[in-house]
């Protein structure tokens, strides 16, 4: 089980429509490329990290 699955407790993934500004999209794409991730993978990683951080408060 990877870190992302540990957060939601299972292997199912939900699809979520997401609207981003063009500027934010470009920044996230550049960041994802630096981290060798897809844009979707980068967004999932960032959200997972934010949830983990919030739980540790």
Q: How far apart are CA 39 and CA 36, in angstroms?
A: 10
> In whole angstroms, what separates CA 3 from the centre of its chain?
11
The pLDDT of residue 11: 78
55 in a domain, yes or no?
Answer: yes
Contacts of 11 (CB under 8 A, 6+ apart): 1, 5
Domain with 53 in it: 19-57
- Evaluate whether residue 13 is within a structural domain: no
Residue 28: inside a domain:
yes
Question: Residue 41 falls within a domain, yes or no?
Answer: yes
- Confirm whether 45 is domain-assigned: yes
Q: Does 2 fall in a domain?
A: no
Residues 3-50 pLDDT 10s: 555 555 677 999 999 999 999 999 999 999 999 999 999 999 999 999
Quick check: is 36 in a domain? yes
What's the pLDDT at 1?
A: 39
Residue 32 counted as domain residue: yes
**Per the structure, how many domains does the chain have?**
1
């Amino acid at each position: 089980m990877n870190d992302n699955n540990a957060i939601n407790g299972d292997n199912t993934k939900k699809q979520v429509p997401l609207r981003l500004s063009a500027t934010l999209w470009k920044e996230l794409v550049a960041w994802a490329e630096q981290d060798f991730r897809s844009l979707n993978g980068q967004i999932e990683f960032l959200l997972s990290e934010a949830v983990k951080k919030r739980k540790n408060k």
